Structure 1
């Protein structure tokens, strides 16, 4: 198992909310500065427009820094996944995370199954795992049923129990249901806070180990070290009022998460 960072760990630093957003090469360098050797470029559609030369340059930057890559996108349409498999070939990525729905396509269970069966042989040929993320738009039961319907060793689950809270699923139950199918883990903590005036709650990120994620339970059930499942650091960090505070807090959370995950390894 490797500890990795997601581009979601640099969410605000990559965004238009800051005066000078990071480039992906800068993210690679910052990943290496933390002694981390894996970066998941996740939900970063700009990479789809990279030409071959730009992708090779990014791969060279990763090689020079000792940082390998994973990829993340949304959707199951085979033609879309093939584009990401082409990108994975250049970057040397062996994991592609995706989600069932996109903004303009919500496949039926039969359509989703057909799409996955169509792409599975190509995953095998290219040596890439496709990990479908747990999230509130698709019940965990339905996601597991889909993965079991495909019944292919290259198709599994990206476990992120925080996402399913919005569908009133218990994170520990999600971990139990998905454990044997997990090919990738998104490691982020979360907590509820009272909204102003005590009217309702907000679900947002928390410093790793300080929120509601039962991380020990996740480790016990998934056994990422034993099974070679990478754990990818993400955050749900709210904007901190200004750019400087947000950037510093994002960096602090990332460094803390890396240290926390390292501290749990045997």
Structure 2
């Protein structure tokens, strides 16, 4: 009698898991893979990409303007400003990677990992295998984690942007870019003519160098901020999820595995 009851429980739970697997693969997967589902996140990532590309253009224009100033005093500054562009390309690549992962993680989690976890859970019940049950739980938790990691990182980035006024830092860098281009143009004699440049060469060069130094400082701040919110934060969020999974499964999970998937 007890054996029949146990078999009935396992059969019912197996049917439930099969239903969950089918629902995950054919309903949830389609929904979370639809562009409309990630519309807000995609728009946020698109705004990030535009910001990074605008900053990249500002850095490149400022570097060219500073390099055009007569003399060798501003050459190191121009080189340092130009070098910041490579870091911005890393940030742009990170944004594109987030967009790619956002589009595929939901499909991978709900069409592959969750159904696989259900199948392993069923096999674990009927084969009385604790290893399969634990593997099923790990697959399910991992699937949910990779589905949540990109939206979670976007949320954390948004909170940091609001708390530390990231947009203001970027605006200041863009204003500094405009100022250094104006100073560079004047120092090069493009606005007042060659005679006017000869008369005020010392003052104009000093002003251009000062603006270039200020612009470099602003650019460093803005680039650091963009690297943090686009590269560091997603990595930290991913690390947090991995640490959470590792911590959860470092404890003895024999009891929860047997509780939800009976059969031992």
State TM-score, norm by structure 2: 0.21
- Report which of the two has the higher share of strand: 1
Instruction: Return the TM-score normalized by structure 1.
Output: 0.21
Q: Which has the larger radius of gyration?
A: 2
Larger helix percent: 2
